[in-house]
């Protein structure tokens, strides 16, 4: 079994056109697990981004936010990703 993994520094995803472009590209590449860096997300945006990711053809997503101008990461899973794993999050800002 092989897993296709990518890590991308997106330098912000607040712009809906950029988010659409990034999400569509990831889905088109059939990547199983994507780690996004520098999302510049805030907690109130992540519900919308998770919803959009699924609408564009993705699966589950996990977000850890910084500010709307820096930091923030996301983990996006392909909708067909079936492996199970434990998620442990530690954030000691």
The whole-angstrom separation of Cα 45 and Cα 41 is 6
The response to whether 60 counts as a known ligand-binding position is no
The response to whether 9 counts as a known ligand-binding position is yes
The whole-angstrom separation of Cα 60 and Cα 63 is 10
The whole-angstrom separation of Cα 48 and Cα 88 is 23
Q: Which residues are annotated as a binding site for Mg(2+)?
A: 9, 38
Q: Which residues are annotated as a binding site?
A: 9, 38
């Amino acid at each position: 079994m092989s897993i296709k993994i990518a890590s991308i520094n997106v330098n912000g995803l607040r712009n809906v056109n950029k988010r659409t472009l990034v999400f569509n590209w990831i889905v088109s590449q059939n990547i199983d697990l994507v780690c996004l860096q520098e999302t510049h997300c805030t907690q109130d945006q992540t519900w919308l981004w998770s919803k959009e990711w699924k609408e564009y053809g993705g699966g589950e997503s996990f977000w850890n936010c910084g500010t709307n101008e820096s930091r923030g990461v996301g983990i996006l899973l392909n909708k067909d990703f079936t492996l199970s794993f434990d998620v442990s999050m530690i954030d000691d800002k």
